[in-house]
Amino acid sequence: MTATTRTALQIRVEAFTFHGETTPVLSGAAISATPGSLTAVLGGSGSGKSTLGKLMAGWLQTGHAGQFRGSLELDGTLLEFRGAPDDPRINPAEWSRRVAFVPQDASAMLSSVRATVAEELAFGLENRATPREDMLSAVERTAARTGLSDLLDRDPATLSGGELRRLAVGCAVIAEPDVLILDEPLASLDAAGAAQLEDLVRSLRGSGTGIVLLSQAADRLAREATHWTILDGRTVTAAGAPAQLAGSAELERAGVIGVGGPGVLGPRAIAPSVAIGSSVAAGVRGPGPVPVAAPGPGSASLELRGVGFGYGQDPRRRGAPVLARVLRDVDFAVHPGEIIAVTGPNGAGKSTLLRHFNGLLRPTEGDVRVCGRSIAGVPVGTVAASMGLLFQHPRDQLFERTVLREAAFGLGQLFGKAEAEGKARAALAAVGLSGTEAAHPAELSASQQRLLALATVLAREPAVLALDEPTVGLDRHGLEALQTAVVRAAARGAAVVIVTHDLSYARLNAHRVLELTGGRLSEI
């Protein structure tokens, strides 16, 4: 802010293009970071945020990963890149000592070869031949800072999502970098985990570290930033103070979620949780659920009768684990055209319940009926004809070479070869993926991959649509597409069940909200 503030890191991107591709994934972008500042780069899924962050941090090796034209300046050292073979080559180890990066998938930060949290923290120091005494004190210091002191002897594979994210940050800051780049640090964290991470960022900032935040939500953390840069369509469309940009058209177009500005319709600040990054309700506009046509009581699309389930229980053993009892006496029915939301805290058994709908898990008592027929003994693949279920990880579900083939997979058997392609294209259009038919599914953005997985389910026109945490990872364009698709499916006569941890989203978008607590389902 003041003229004396020196710039620690500055990047100017003319263009960055991955090998084998013709269009740049990022062009015309420039941002800088100063000590103790918080700079937010906001943009939708696939806008080029991660590419920008990785370029700044020396993670994307220019020349190796792709062709880079532009410049990087770190503390007076200026590196110019012209996309030629004699361009300077960044030494990643030395560079990231000064500029550290924490990827969105925190587990990618870990070496995967260290047995305890303490050793994982020390990994980077070992590689730099730091004397053991210095390592011990650095590990202790960093653990205290990141709130990991009680977890030092734990196996990193057993950490929760929030702990893992803090460990990744710890691995990055143990070398005391001048600049720390965080890619979606709050994504898929619960409220407590998000709050801890926000505190950590504030304390780092207070000690003089310059922070660059990459995010697709203008959440509480982003609103503390001194400077915003908006990325849209792989280029910078606006930059300036948050106050100027909060309600801007650029932010709107970029697909950023959850801005409390005037450009957003829908209820603001329903609950305090809305401000947290994991909640997306405030960003979602939309008509809300349409009224149910006529839910006749006898014709439930999906019905659970007295379903109970427990993992690995053994009645012969004394003191049979009561905790293993996940579902007890669950009764519920969804009728054609109805949208139902199931919420509940993490670990309440929401995913377990969902897996009963198509027989991936079989109830220990009670019965599951789809379109009036019990699915006991019916193979999952057969139930799938009337039950469309969407999981959280789209990458596990996608396996074809092109988006169109993916959406058309298996449709030939359902509708005949002639109609299959038309149905697939219609489903892609319904989620806003027209125009990507020839792309490889893995090359879509994270948000688009989730929508493609949704399209593969919609294309089959199932009688029941069950979605597991469909909002996680979607940017605002994605949320709107989801909204439209769900409403349209319900209008066609499908029964929709949405499982979500996001109560405000559930309230806004469902006809009925049920809560799963203690293995029981109750209307709220």
Partner 1 sequence: MKQRLHPFTALTAAASAAVVTTAAAYWPLSVAVALAAVFLAVRREVAGRVLPAAAVILTPLCLSLLVLHGLFFPEGQTVLAQWGPARVTAEGLGFALELGTRTTACVLAFLLFSFTVSVPDLVSALAGRRVPPQFGFVLASTLTLLPAVSVRLDRIRQAQETRGMVVRRGLVSRLGALRLQMVPLVLALIDDAGSRAQALDARGFGSPGPRTTYREVADPPAQRRFRAAALVFAAAAVAGRIVASWPAGVPS
Partner 2 sequence: MSQSALTVTAPGQAAGRRRRLLEIAGAAAIAATYIFLVLTQPADIANGPASFSALVALGGFLLGAVLLIVAVLPVLPTSTVVLIPVALVLNVVLGQLMGSTGLPFYIDAIGTVLIAVLAGPAAGAATGALSSIVWSFFNPTVLPFAAGAALIGFLAGMAARGGLFRRFYFAPIAGFVTGILAGVVSAPIAAFVFGGTSGLGTGAIVSAFRAMGDTLLAAITKQALISDPMDKAIVFTIAALLAYALPRRTTFQFPFVRHYRVLAGKSPATPDA
Q: Residue 21: name its binding partner from partner 2, partner 1, none (Cβ under 5 to 8 Å by kind).
A: partner 2
Q: Residue 124: name its binding partner from partner 1, partner 2, none (Cβ under 5 to 8 Å by kind).
A: partner 1
Say if residues 451 and 414 touch (Cβ distance below 8 Å). no
Pairing verdict, β 99-102 and 77-82: unpaired
Q: Residue 77: name its binding partner from partner 2, partner 1, none (Cβ under 5 to 8 Å by kind).
A: partner 2
Contacts of 323 (CB under 8 A, 6+ apart): none
Query: What track of x and - describes contact with partner 2 for positions 391 through 410 (by CB under 8 A)?
Result: ----------x---------
Does residue 95 bind partner 2 (CB under 8 A)? yes
3-class state of residue 11 by DSSP? strand
Alpha-carbon distance of 503 to 350, in angstroms, equals 13
Query: What track of x and - describes contact with partner 2 for positions 41 through 80 (by CB under 8 A)?
Result: -----------------------xx--------x--x-x-
Does residue 442 bind partner 2 (CB under 8 A)? yes
DSSP single-letter state for residue 467: E
* Contacts of partner 2 in 128-147 (CB under 8 A): none
Nearer to partner 1, 116 or 235 (CB): 116
Alpha-carbon distance of 301 to 339, in angstroms, equals 12
Q: 251 burial class (0-12, 13-18, 19+ CB within 10 angstroms)?
A: buried
Alpha-carbon distance of 394 to 446, in angstroms, equals 9
Does residue 331 bind partner 2 (CB under 8 A)? no
Does residue 90 bind partner 2 (CB under 8 A)? yes
- Residue 334: CB atoms within 10 A of its CB come to 25
Say if residues 175 and 205 touch (Cβ distance below 8 Å). no
Nearer to partner 2, 95 or 505 (CB): 95
Shortest spacing between CB 233 and partner 1, in angstroms: 24
Nearer to partner 1, 136 or 426 (CB): 136
Q: Residue 396: name its binding partner from partner 1, partner 2, none (Cβ under 5 to 8 Å by kind).
A: partner 1
Separation of first and last alpha carbons in the chain = 49
Which residues of this chain interact with partner 1, rule CB under 8 A?
54, 57-61, 91-93, 95-96, 100-101, 103, 105, 108-116, 118-119, 122-132, 135-136, 139, 157, 171, 355, 358, 360, 379-382, 384-385, 389, 391, 393, 395-399, 409-410, 442, 456-457, 460
Alpha-carbon distance of 434 to 524, in angstroms, equals 38
Say if residues 138 and 118 touch (Cβ distance below 8 Å). no
Nearer to partner 1, 79 or 292 (CB): 79
Contacts of 264 (CB under 8 A, 6+ apart): 282, 283, 285
> Which residues of this protein are in contact with partner 2, per CB under 8 A?
18-21, 64-65, 74, 77, 79, 88-91, 94-95, 98, 401, 440, 442-443
